[in-house]
Structures are given as C-alpha cells and as structure tokens.
Amino acid sequence: MTPTEFEALPLAAPLQRALRELNYQTPSPVQAQAIPLLLEGRDLLGCAQTGTGKTASFALPILHAIHSNPRQVRPKSCRTLVLAPTRELAGQVGKSFTTYGQHVRFRQTLIYGGVGQNPQVSAMRGGVDVLVATPGRLLDLIEQRAVDLSSVEFFVLDEVDRMLDMGFLRDVKRIVSLLPSNRQSLFFSATLAPNIVELAQTILRNPARVSIAPETTTAERIEQQVCFVDRESKKPLLEQLLRGQADAVEGKLTIVFSRTKHGANKLAKSLCAAGFPADAIHGNKSQAQREKALERFKKGLTPVLVATDVAARGVDVKDVGLVVNFDLPNEPEAYVHRIGRTGRAGADGRAVSFCADDELEYLREIEKVIKMPVPRWDDHQWHHEALAERHLRIKTGGGKAPQSQGGRRQGGGGNRRGNNGGTRDYSNASGRQNRRGPASR
C-alpha cells in the first residue's frame, strides 16, 4: 500500500513539521514508493528523472535516521555521502537537506571543484552528518587525508547516468572501494542502460527497485515539439518564441540549450542585442559567475538562460515554462534531461527543439529512446517542409515520403502527456491547436 499523505509515513516529527511548513501534502510517486523501503534499511535502485521529487525521497529517510540515532561523528568523517555529477546539483541537494532538515540537528557540508579547498577542508575537520560531493574534488581531499570515508552509513549516487556521461566511472569506483561494506546504498539514474545496471550491481545489496515513468521515456506534463528549420532561421524563430514567452502569465523563464560553450556565449550576446535579457552558463564560467547568472535568472532579471548540458545539471528553477533545444543533443539521453528542466514540481512545461539538416539523425535517435515521435510544430514562417519529409523518410527506412501537409501552416500538436505510447503519428500530432504556441496568443 502506498501512503497518500506524508502524515501516513513514519517520518520523525521534525520532518513532518518541515513538510507541513513547505506545504507538501502528498508524496510524489517516487517518494511514496522509496521512503518506506529506505526506512526499512533497504538498498535502492531508482529510475527517476529530475523533477519527480527524488531528492526528498532519499533526504527524508536519511534525515530520519540521523535524527532517530544521533551519533558523534569522527573527525574528517561523514555518516552520509551523496555523490552528484556537478557542483550545481551538489548545491541543490545540499539545499534540499537544509530545507527538509530545518528542524533536525545535523551538520552538513559540500565539496566540489572550481573553488578554493581550504573552507571545505576546515568544514570537514570536525566531521559531518551529511557530505554532498562531486567525485573529482572528493578524491583530491581523500588523497590529502582531509576526508575519511570509513564511517559512511548512507551512500547515495545521484544522476548516475550523467556521472558516467561525464567520465566519472573510475572516480566513482575508487570512491566506492573506500566505503565500508556495512552501509545502505541508494542509486538514482534517469535511465537504466545496461552499463548502469551493471555498475549498480557492484554497489547495491539486494536492492529494491523503484521506477518512475517507464525507463527512458520523457517526463510527463511536458509538451514536446520539433521545428524543422534551416540553421540560419533558428535565431529569428527563437526570438519569436521568446516574444511569446515574455507575454506569458506564468512560466516566463526559458532555458535555451546550445551544444557548445562558444555557441552559448554567442547566442546570449545576440539575444541581448535583440532586446531579450539573456545570460550564458557553461563549464568555462567560474562558480561565482554561474551562481550569479542563476540568481538573476531565478529572479527573472535575465529571463533567458543559454546553457550547455553539463552546466544545466542541477538547475532547479520552478518557473521554467519553456526549454528550447537550439541545437539537438547528439546523445538522446541528454534530450530527456534537457526537457526535464521544465515541467518541474507538477507544473506544465513546453520543450521546443530546432532540427536542421545535419540534426535529422539526432532526432531519429531521440525518438527511438523516448519511444514516440516528437510532434512537429510548423506554425511559423521558417518551417522547412522538405526537412520534415526527409525525417519521415529516414524513420520509415527510406520508403516513400508520406503525403506532405501541403505547406499549410498548421497549429502544432501539443503532446501534453509525454509518455502516452508510441502509436502517435505526425498527422495526428499536427492537427490540434497548440494552446501555448504563438498562434493562440
């Protein structure tokens, strides 16, 4: 039986109080499934995307255990280790622990690269209950004997798929080898590809498996669309979308994804010049620059954030109404992560992808992974019908292209619930009025 209210879960009073104050009433599906299992001490293999409430699903049971069983922590040690792929995500997870644990006595700190290590070394001196870290800097500090993992009781690997994409496999394995064998381990990934399951098997002991949304399908509540356009038409099309977004009542914020750091800088600059306050975040920016850009974005001062995949990890901003894939990602899993930046915390969101001639192959791979066609949106002057037809031909293995839509500018179809099966086709998708598209404004 899954509890329908947080009150029905056996979580300690200070946690229940924080949840009441946050006005969280109903556990999200991943929380309803994972929390009881974790409170029993089980290891967990979770397939859950960002935006599903997975952070609370592990932070609450861990805080419950820390509160119920307070313990003196040895110098340089931690009771809980959460590994996250990026500093942004580490910061986000740390913030969640602080929020959910605001009435619990516990100590936590963050360890990540790109900033001076001395404050992190000092923070670890007396030991902490919760350490949230990125793998590289953590290993540095372990080698310098500033951190000792021998008393970890709870080990969480968050966004493992991303961690592996970023080349952290060796670091992760090394860190795992330093953990005591008597621990509770939690493993979260948005996708469960065979290499990820293989890694999980080496880390987890008889894990319970929790899967939210079918593996590798796209997040619910996100309206996905693809625009077939020439490369040079992408900018004017983006500006049209942003004009619509500026008029939106809710969800004014937009994240635009660029494949390269240089492209992100250039695009942010040109958007500013066109009157759309924009900022870029990517791996070459300092931590301080990224934090400042994020703060300004959250406040709506620069409502457009141009980001690369890595930099956008861990960006948890509630009011993102639109995600634009200015460039399609060359790995389909990144598409799932990108569009998960919108539609967070129960809100609706829209994700529009621009597909030029040289990106048709990427789109095909994405559709294979999400197991559905992305509905096309061609209600704009830059629509390139021949490309749309080529895409269909590629998908159908070079067969005869289906009937063209006659070049008519039709309202793009809104797929409001992203995982409703793989039986849709483009003719269905493009006939419906898009309630958020510029045509309806």
Closer to ligand AMP by CB, 163 or 429: give it: 163
Here the tokens at position 191 are 């996708």
How far apart are CB 96 and ligand AMP at their closest, in Å? Answer: 7
- Decide the pairing of beta strands 253-257 and 278-281: unpaired
3-state secondary structure of 280: strand
Here the tokens at position 95 are 């913030």
Closer to ligand AMP by CB, 278 or 323: give it: 323
How far apart are CB 49 and ligand AMP at their closest, in Å? Answer: 8
* In the block, residue with structure tokens 């086709």: 425
Q: Which of 205, 345, 358, 368 binds ligand AMP (CB under 6 A)?
A: 345
Closer to ligand AMP by CB, 188 or 354: give it: 188
CA distance 301 to 285: 19
DSSP state of 77: B
Does residue 53 belong to the site contacting ligand AMP (CB under 6 A)? yes
Does residue 8 belong to the site contacting ligand AMP (CB under 6 A)? no
How far apart are CB 344 and ligand AMP at their closest, in Å? Answer: 5
Does residue 211 belong to the site contacting ligand AMP (CB under 6 A)? no
Sign, Cα dihedral of 130, 133, 138, 139:
positive
Closer to ligand AMP by CB, 31 or 86: give it: 31
Closer to ligand AMP by CB, 26 or 286: give it: 26
CA distance 392 to 404: 10
Closer to ligand AMP by CB, 165 or 316: give it: 316
- Decide the pairing of beta strands 108-111 and 128-133: parallel
> Residue 427, Cα to own-chain centre: how many angstroms?
31
3-state secondary structure of 81: strand
Closer to ligand AMP by CB, 97 or 106: give it: 97
Closer to ligand AMP by CB, 86 or 434: give it: 86
Does residue 94 belong to the site contacting ligand AMP (CB under 6 A)? no
Of 22-30, 226-234, 247-255, 373-381, the window that binds ligand AMP (rule: CB under 6 A) is: 22-30
Closer to ligand AMP by CB, 37 or 360: give it: 37
CA distances from 375 to 56, 372, 378, 429 (A): 33, 9, 10, 5
CA distances from 47 to 30, 97, 186, 190, 216 (A): 9, 21, 11, 5, 9
Does residue 50 belong to the site contacting ligand AMP (CB under 6 A)? yes
Does residue 316 belong to the site contacting ligand AMP (CB under 6 A)? yes
Using CB under 6 A, which residues numbered 284 to 313 contact ligand AMP?
A: none
3-state secondary structure of 36: helix
CA distances from 368 to 204, 217, 396, 425 (A): 29, 10, 12, 14
* In the block, residue with structure tokens 């100590």: 107
Of 48-56, 175-183, 292-300, 414-422, the window that binds ligand AMP (rule: CB under 6 A) is: 48-56
Of 47-55, 62-70, 118-126, 128-136, the window that binds ligand AMP (rule: CB under 6 A) is: 47-55
DSSP state of 183: S
Q: Which of 11, 15, 18, 28 binds ligand AMP (CB under 6 A)?
A: 28
CA distance 136 to 87: 11
How far apart are CB 132 and ligand AMP at their closest, in Å? Answer: 13
Here the tokens at position 307 are 């980001």
How far apart are CB 48 and ligand AMP at their closest, in Å? Answer: 7
Chain positions contacting ligand AMP, by CB under 6 A:
24, 26-28, 31, 50-56, 316, 318, 344-345
